[in-house]
Structure 1
Amino acid sequence: MNPMTPIQPMPFEALTPDAYRQLKHAASLKGLLKPFKGKGELEHLAQVAREIEAQLCRLMEAVVQQAGEPPYSLLKIRLVLQKTSAGSTFLRWRTRDFSRMGVAVWECQISNKALPQIVREELHRFECARIALNLQMSVVHSLYRQAMTCAIKMASAEQLLRHFTPAVEKTR
């Protein structure tokens, strides 16, 4: 089938308020903006960030699945999940043959004058979702890394304090 054949695309719905409802409850900043009493609280924050990353990944997978349906599957581009060496996942545009990657691939496709306007608009919605999800993943992954780093530093500080605390005070 020719990608320019008029096919009514399925409306993009992966990022509805319902999709974010579970994330909204877990991702409160009030848990971040408080005095942390020890490494355990920071490890808990890191764990919550990891759980949110997993939920974001599921949203990304839903977007990739929708972008893999006709008529988008007939185009020369793909929206794919890419794992990074740091352990997070991002959405990337790639050519069908995987020879090129990035927003330039999307720009080339969307500027194709033969592309039906409705498909162009849906590709725009996919791109906006990709940008937002990548931002969210980046922020949450950074929070995870920072929380883990701080937990390690707190544990080290606590260990050093114990090392230099006189034996008499240790029994109190």
Structure 2
Amino acid sequence: MKSIISTQPTPLETLTPDAYRHLEHATSLKGLLKPFKGKGELEYLAQVARETEAQLCRLMEAVALRAGQPPFSLLDIRLVLQNTSAGSTFLRWRTRDFARMGVAVWERQASNKALPQTVREALHRFECERIALNLQMSVMHSLYRQASTCAIKMASAERLLRQSTPAAEISR
């Protein structure tokens, strides 16, 4: 393996704060921790969560693309995007032949003493980025689902109130 993989340090930029700069809504929960006055605010929160998911997906794509470059493309491991049936995307480790998937695939490569230390350290950074991005995607997708569900429930409650309130009282 040493003949294939260079022992020279691998230039690898981790995800920097600049990579996250466009995710301004994701860094603050102040918009979440307030009284919601109606379904419109919840729909807006769901929209922001969905937009943030798309931005996180672009970051995931960038990480997967970097992990697909040499010297990592020479390894028996791939970092791939996996779309779920729930509608979100996660980064997963897979073998080159797609026979196995999961952290065990990464552990096998990262613990391979035949690989240069720089490559193992880079694999470690990829794994840390994968873990963090998957967490962030999971939180955003859950926030989207919850906000969407709550907006529907709030709209239903508003409809029920309008239906049960006499017209004369509504016009006041």
TM-score (norm 1): 0.94
Q: Which residue of 2 aligns with 1:160?
A: 160
The count of residues paired between Structure 1 and Structure 2 equals 171
Shift of 1:97: 0.3
Q: Which residue of 2 aligns with 1:96?
A: 96
SS at match of 1:80: strand
Matches within 5 A, 1:124-139: 124-139=124-139
SS at match of 2:37: coil
1:107 is the counterpart of 2:100: no
Q: Deviations over 1:101-156 (max 9, x none)?
A: 00000011112121111100000000000000000000011000000010000000
SS at match of 2:94: strand
- Contact 1:7-1:71 within 8 A present in 2 as well: no
Matches within 5 A, 1:34-49: 34-49=34-49
1:6 is the counterpart of 2:6: yes
Q: Deviations over 1:11-61 (max 9, x none)?
A: 3225111101111x2222111011000000000000000111111011101
SS at match of 2:112: coil
Q: Which residue of 2 aligns with 1:21?
A: 21
Alpha-carbon separation, structure 1, partners of 2:72 and 2:64: 11
C-alpha RMSD of matched pairs (Å): 1.5
- Contact 1:67-1:126 within 8 A present in 2 as well: yes
Unaligned runs of 5+ in 1: none
The answer to which of 26-35 and 144-153 deviates more is: 26-35
Shift of 1:9: 5.6
Distance 1:12 1:5, change over 3 A: closer
Distance 1:3 1:65, change over 3 A: farther
- Contact 1:12-1:126 within 8 A present in 2 as well: no
1:55 is the counterpart of 2:32: no
Distance 1:157 1:121, change over 3 A: same
Q: Deviations over 1:64-111 (max 9, x none)?
A: 010000000000000000000111100000000000000000011112
- The percentage of counterpart residues that share the same residue type is 80
- 1:136 partner amino acid: Q
Alpha-carbon separation, structure 2, partners of 1:92 and 1:167: 56
Distance 1:11 1:81, change over 3 A: same
